Structure 1
């Protein structure tokens, strides 16, 4: 069995693999600037103000980034914690195929902007924050929806759609896969590609509250900073916001290797 086949087998055998503990990793393998920024956001929530009294190691244990390996009794970094807050090289030592890219292709050149874990040496948290902020700036020419009593601006709804699509990619991708994650932005379309097959039927994605996050720890860490608090409703939010905006309805397809979510800002 090749290493790629072994990784695929492991990733399919356990929905909670990102909660497993890597006992040969420690706090020294985590990126301090990421920890500091993440902690600042967590402690900005009054519910978590008491975390301010904790040391860095205590804080990371409290949120699940550092945990005890129940087989050995030793502490280490969880897989999700490493991916989310790890130093780039430390991530690559366990995930050699790790790569996430955002391309804004609205240009005559190959791209206008690229955000990449590969070229910028980012972890998942850094990629998420940079991509989230960039996607918020994309719908900058919004217009008002006619005949809608709340006069909702389409660009604000599109920002919601893109946020949920980004969260879906981060929470549900298969980081064990040799496939890598990609966001493509064109003049009228957005494409979110993540590795691995969806864990719910395609036909249910836009209509169900069922949640089967492939990365339970990463989903938990995102919830601590106010993202994905209603896990399982992202597909519904994307669909409903598209209907209200009167833009073309989104589509999703999946196979054994990847899942592709396509969103358009063209009017329906």
Structure 2
């Protein structure tokens, strides 16, 4: 349960922060709800409900929930409304995100590197290969688990007597991943690349200027 709360809050923060960037709050013409991954939206709503079952946003339909999160917007000047760049990045289908009218340079890549890369370049990889939805929400969910899989967790209880399965290292890794995803210029070259080595983590992205 604690892990679910963390994922939900971080993903909500990513979407909100992306929507604050002028380019990411733009309404995408000719894109709609059909361009979003239903499974990603359903998982997000389920985790939201697990955390705060009485939250008023849960009564919203998909358009309403996305509006609250910054993924759907109405321009008061023109009356135009629709999916924002941030909404497409967070919940979209890979092939739709990468369309010419979308974000064609969009790229996400996670690699687990051995100490000696002369023989094997990586031992595990998650990239946009068509086997998963290929959006920021799904990438975050998968990669945060891979990054923290080998971290030791001491047995501790918090003030409510729940087991505290988080450490300073977990928090630092989560913050680094979130920052890499939030502050990336997805129209830039190279995309977001996360490398996990036996002794370190490396996060790279085209930075928003």
Give me the TM-score of the superposition, normalised by structure 2: 0.73
Deviating beyond 4 angstroms after TM superposition, the runs of 4 or more aligned structure 1 residues are none
Cα distance, 1:15 vs. partner?
Answer: 4.1
Partners of 1:118 and 1:192 in 2: CA distance: 20
Partners of 1:53 and 1:32 in 2: CA distance: 17
C-alpha contact (below 8 Å) 2:90/2:137 kept by paired residues: yes
Give me the TM-score of the superposition, normalised by structure 1: 0.58
1:137 maps onto 2:180 in alignment: no
Partners of 1:119 and 1:34 in 2: CA distance: 15
C-alpha contact (below 8 Å) 2:94/2:130 kept by paired residues: no
1:189 maps onto 2:200 in alignment: yes
Which residue does 2:176 correspond to in 1?
A: 165
Range with greater deviation from structure 2 (114-123 or 126-135):
114-123
Partners of 1:43 and 1:111 in 2: CA distance: 37
C-alpha contact (below 8 Å) 1:42/1:48 kept by paired residues: no
Partners of 2:198 and 2:92 in 1: CA distance: 34
Cα distance, 1:71 vs. partner?
Answer: 4.9
Which residue does 1:261 correspond to in 2?
A: none
Which residue does 2:112 correspond to in 1?
A: 104
Partners of 1:72 and 1:179 in 2: CA distance: 35
Which residue does 1:21 correspond to in 2?
A: 27
Partners of 2:35 and 2:104 in 1: CA distance: 16
Which residues in structure 2 correspond to 1:26-105 (within 5 Å)? 26-46=32-52, 49-93=55-99, 94-105=102-113
1:34 is paired with a residue whose SS is helix
User: In the alignment, which of 116, 120, 140 is matched to residue 128 of structure 1?
Assistant: 140
1:175 maps onto 2:186 in alignment: yes
Change (3 A) 1:117 1:139: same
Q: Deviations over 1:210-247 (max 9, x none)?
A: xxxxxxxxxxxxxxxxxxxxxxxxxxxxxxxxxxxxxx
Q: Deviations over 1:103-161 (max 9, x none)?
A: 01137632121111345451011101101111121324x79xxxxxxxxxxx9332222
Count the aligned residue pairs.
175
Partners of 1:117 and 1:41 in 2: CA distance: 24
Unaligned runs of 5+ in 1: 1-13, 144-154, 200-268
Partners of 2:69 and 2:120 in 1: CA distance: 42
Unaligned runs of 5+ in 2: 1-19, 155-165
Rg comparison, structure with higher value: 1
Cα distance, 1:48 vs. partner?
Answer: 6.1
